[in-house]
Amino acid sequence: MSSAAKLNYTIPPDDGSRAFTQLYPGSVPKEWPRNWREEPRIVEIEDIRGKEGNYGLDVAGFQYSRYPAKHTNFTDEEEIKEEYYPESVELIKKFTGATRVVIFDHTLRRRRPGENGADPKNRQPVTQVHADQTMTASIARVHKHLPASDVPALLRCRFQIINLWRPISHPAVDWPLAVCDFRSLDTKTDLVPMALKFPDREGEVYGIKYNPDHRWVYKSAMDPEDFVLLK
């Protein structure tokens, strides 16, 4: 079964310059300066509940499974780091075979109708089609979060940046997470490197150009025992 939904794609700058967004924490996201435009598109998103086994991290770029979290209180930042981080490390090792896992941050998103998203403590779901890290940003993460003495050897081996996403208090019915099957993406034409310019640093993500060949899926009514790993 599929549902039609609006997704916001990226139109890169007309002059061929690098896309950027200037972020000002505490301000409304729609007011952040940027040199690219949104392209809203209505797309079909297939519910793959019952067919999750047809997808995997190294096949489609995502993997669904079930594994209840021991930590269930997501109101205290320090408790999340002390309790949820260690169990997340073990979960990722279990499902990927990784020998070393380093968690460098987390984000809580809560749907709050009527709020403008200016408060960083009340982040709402993201409506822009994107990939969280470019290759450049991924390598920079290794340098930033791992001991300098370990970096050369780590960069000679395979490393991955993986998101662990799950509902934290109730089924994700209002705003479920949609993911794009990597096999339907044209990496030569669809990816738009985009600088995220913070007051004190710069990151880089991929915006995504619209492509009618993109295959979008989601798992309906994911509950707190469900999770998805995303490359």
**pLDDT, tens digit, for every residue of 67-122?**
999 998 898 999 999 999 999 999 999 999 999 999 999 999 876 565 555 555 66
Q: Provide the pLDDT for residue 116.
A: 52
How many C-beta atoms surround the C-beta of residue 111 within 10 A?
A: 11
Q: Provide the pLDDT for residue 200.
A: 87
CB burial of 116-129 (b: ≥16 within 10 Å; e: otherwise) equals ebeeeeeebeeeeb
> Domain limits of the chain?
2-230
Which residues, other chains included, contact 34 with Cβ-Cβ below 8 Å and sequence gap of 6+? 19, 20, 21, 22
Nearest residue to 111 via CA among 97, 122, 98, 101: 122
